[in-house]
């Protein structure tokens, strides 16, 4: 009797193990990816919706079986915008055998650049700093660099300014992130862009920008190109509005027209600056929910599906997160399609092949993602938006800054 029971248990256990193995084979591969970013701490107002975008899109991929039976397991960790924590996270991710890495800040991307090279890890950061690409093979910017954005804004100023050479001030974040594009705009001017940079202002934690604004006016400045985060821009816009210095239309004489790169704008700027944000011109490569289309419909549906609130659903940084997850997923899908094993090496190759007729066209950006050995800037196209009646509206068609190729 006892022998019979033991045998039955033995058979049952063997069956369970076999069943488990079969299920495992049927469940397909799991590809490990990782993201380290500021979910709390400085810039977490951008990092938080970004993380949600990445998380939601990979959940969607797994649930909708976009990769068949294969799944993506993306570990997301908070680094509080601290480079040492990012480095520790990255080292732990390596122990997990990740095949693709998503990074965040300019500082940590520059600091870990050598690690990405040594590990040969394809990496997409949330920082669009052009310097990330210097002496680097494995970093891929998702969209046009900050430099390209600033040059794009400068070109728009030059094309639409009436009168003599336009006088411009640059209002920047006091960091590598902020300073990066200044030199490239100066190079564009040296290459023939007819514009004068009168002053470069590195802001502090200013409660009142009266002195700065009056000074710029006294020097004949008519345009202010901002490259920082939303909060200081909001304070400047409010002060300018209070002093009656803000242009009512683009390039209004003896007034200031404000323009800004990706991280200066979005719905948060409108929330912070209120009516003072009217006529603020902003550029990014992402589509916005205030200009509905297939990409934004998908974004809103995704946010609804995973229970995100309206604020996250309409954030351009949520779009940003979705987009980098789309690129990583597409690289995996293409590697699988050509029968390659999904590894960091094969995904790197896939990214390099993402050009020409293999460019990745997606609806969350205003242009296709193109990468090659010599082009690590994903979406080259920019869209200009301006605040009209409290929302960002598209201005003209998407464009590619001409002087980016000349500097």
Partner 1 sequence: MTYFLQLVVSGVVVGSIYALSALGFVLIYKSSRVLNIAHGQIIASGAFITYALKVFLGVPIVLSFLLSLVITFFLAMSVERIFLRRLIGEPIISVIMVTIGLMSIIDGLIYLTPFGTENFSFPRFLPQTPLSLGGVSISWTQLVGVLITAALIGGFSYFFKKSTLGISMRAVSDDQLASMSIGISVPKVFGLAWAAAGLSAAAAGGIIGNITGLNFDTLHAFGITVFPVVILGGLDSILGAVVAGIIMGLIQQFASGYLDGNFGLNGTADVLPYVILLIILLFKPHGLFGIHEIERV
Build a one-symbol-per-residue string for 347-386: x at contacts with partner 1 by CB under 8 A, - elsewhere. ----------------------------------------
Distance, in Å, from the CA atom of 348 to the CA atom of 335, rounded to the nearest integer, reads: 10
Strand boundaries in 151-265, DSSP class E: 167-172, 196-202, 223-227, 257-260
Query: Should residue 186 be labelled a site residue for partner 1 when binding is judged by CB under 8 A?
Result: no
Specify whether the CB–CB gap between 324 and 309 falls below 8 A: no
Q: Of 4 and 218, which has the nearer Cβ to partner 1?
A: 218
Choose which of 207, 249, 356, 397 interacts with partner 1 (CB under 8 A).
Answer: 207
Query: Should residue 225 be labelled a site residue for partner 1 when binding is judged by CB under 8 A?
Result: no
Name the one residue in this structure whose structure tokens are 């985060």.
Answer: 229
Query: Should residue 2 be labelled a site residue for partner 1 when binding is judged by CB under 8 A?
Result: no
Of residues 209, 201, 256, the one with CA closest to residue 234: 209
Q: Of 174 and 292, which has the nearer Cβ to partner 1?
A: 174
Q: Of 261 and 327, which has the nearer Cβ to partner 1?
A: 261
Q: Of 92 and 278, which has the nearer Cβ to partner 1?
A: 278
Q: How many CA atoms lie within 13 A of 284 on its CB side?
A: 24
Q: Which two tokens stand for residue 391?
A: 């929302």
Choose which of 28, 251, 274, 293 interacts with partner 1 (CB under 8 A).
Answer: 274
The answer for 223, left when phi > 0, alpha when psi is -120 to 50, beta otherwise, is beta
Q: Of 207 and 337, which has the nearer Cβ to partner 1?
A: 207
Query: Should residue 311 be labelled a site residue for partner 1 when binding is judged by CB under 8 A?
Result: yes
Query: Should residue 390 be labelled a site residue for partner 1 when binding is judged by CB under 8 A?
Result: no
Q: How many CA atoms lie within 13 A of 114 on its CB side?
A: 1
Enclosing H/E stretch for 312: helix 310-313
Q: Of 132 and 209, which has the nearer Cβ to partner 1?
A: 209
Choose which of 234, 369, 384, 387 interacts with partner 1 (CB under 8 A).
Answer: 234
Q: Which stretch binds partner 1 (CB under 8 A): 23-31, 159-167, 180-188, 238-246?
A: 238-246
Choose which of 205, 248, 253, 373 interacts with partner 1 (CB under 8 A).
Answer: 205
Q: Binders of partner 1: how many residues, by CB under 8 A? A: 43
Residues shown for the chain: 407
Build a one-symbol-per-residue string for 113-152: x at contacts with partner 1 by CB under 8 A, - elsewhere. ----------------------------------------
Q: Of 61 and 234, which has the nearer Cβ to partner 1?
A: 234
Of residues 67, 117, 45, 119, the one with CA closest to residue 315: 45
The answer for 97, left when phi > 0, alpha when psi is -120 to 50, beta otherwise, is left
Q: Which two tokens stand for residue 216?
A: 């710029």
Around Cβ 397, how many Cβ atoms within 10 Å?
9
Degrees to nearest 5, angle at CA 200 with 194 and 205: 150
Q: Which stretch binds partner 1 (CB under 8 A): 273-281, 322-330, 346-354, 378-386?
A: 273-281
Query: Where in 22-81 is the site for partner 1 (CB under 8 A)?
Result: 39-45, 47-48
Q: Which two tokens stand for residue 228?
A: 């920082």
Q: Smallest gap, in angstroms, from Cβ of residue 183 to partner 1?
A: 15
Q: Smallest gap, in angstroms, from Cβ of residue 405 to partner 1?
A: 30
Query: Should residue 219 be labelled a site residue for partner 1 when binding is judged by CB under 8 A?
Result: yes
Specify whether the CB–CB gap between 40 and 82 falls below 8 A: no
Of residues 171, 154, 131, 134, the one with CA closest to residue 401: 154
Binding positions for partner 1, rule: CB under 8 A: 39-45, 47-48, 174, 198-202, 204-208, 210-212, 214-216, 218-219, 230-231, 234-235, 238, 242-244, 268, 271-275, 311
């Amino acid at each position: 009797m006892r022998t019979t029971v033991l045998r039955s248990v033995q058979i049952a256990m063997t069956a369970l193990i076999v069943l488990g193995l079969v299920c495992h084979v049927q469940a397909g591969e799991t590809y490990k990816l990782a993201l380290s970013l500021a979910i709390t701490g400085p810039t977490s107002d951008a990092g938080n919706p970004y993380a949600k975008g990445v998380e939601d899109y990979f959940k969607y991929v797994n649930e909708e079986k976009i990769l068949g039976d294969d799944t993506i397991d993306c570990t997301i960790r908070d680094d509080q915008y601290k480079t040492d924590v990012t480095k520790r996270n990255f080292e732990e991710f390596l122990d997990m055998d990740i095949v693709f890495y998503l990074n965040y800040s300019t500082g940590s991307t520059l600091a870990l650049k050598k690690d990405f090279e040594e590990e040969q890890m394809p990496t997409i950061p949330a920082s669009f700093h052009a310097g990330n690409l210097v002496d680097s093979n494995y970093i891929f910017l998702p969209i046009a660099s900050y430099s390209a954005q600033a040059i794009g804004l400068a070109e728009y100023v030059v094309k639409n300014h009436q009168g003599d050479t336009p006088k411009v001030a640059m209002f920047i974040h006091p960091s590598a992130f902020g300073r990066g594009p200044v030199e490239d705009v100066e190079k564009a001017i040296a290459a023939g862009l007819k514009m004068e940079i009168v002053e470069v202002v590195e802001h502090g934690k200013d409660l009142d920008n009266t002195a700065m604004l009056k000074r710029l006016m006294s020097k004949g400045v008519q345009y202010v190109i901002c490259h920082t985060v939303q909060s200081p821009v909001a304070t400047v816009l409010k002060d300018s509005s209070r002093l009656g210095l803000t242009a009512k239309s683009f390039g209004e004489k003896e007034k200031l027209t404000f323009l800004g790169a990706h991280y200066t704008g979005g719905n948060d700027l409108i929330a912070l600056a209120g009516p003072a944000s009217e006529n603020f011109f902003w550029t990014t490569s992402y589509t916005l929910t205030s200009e509905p289309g297939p990409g934004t419909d998908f974004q809103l549906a995704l946010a609804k599906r995973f229970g995100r609130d309206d604020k996250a659903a309409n954030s351009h940084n949520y779009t940003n997160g979705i987009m980098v997850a789309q690129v990583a997923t597409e690289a995996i899908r293409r590697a699988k399609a050509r029968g390659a094993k999904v590894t960091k090496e094969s995904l790197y190759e896939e990214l390099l092949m993402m050009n020409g007729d293999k460019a990745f066209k997606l609806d969350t950006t205003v242009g296709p993602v193109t990468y090659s050995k010599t082009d690590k800037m994903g979406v080259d196209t920019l869209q200009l938006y301006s605040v009209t009646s409290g929302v960002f509206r598209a201005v003209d068609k998407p464009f590619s800054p001409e002087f980016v190729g000349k500097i």
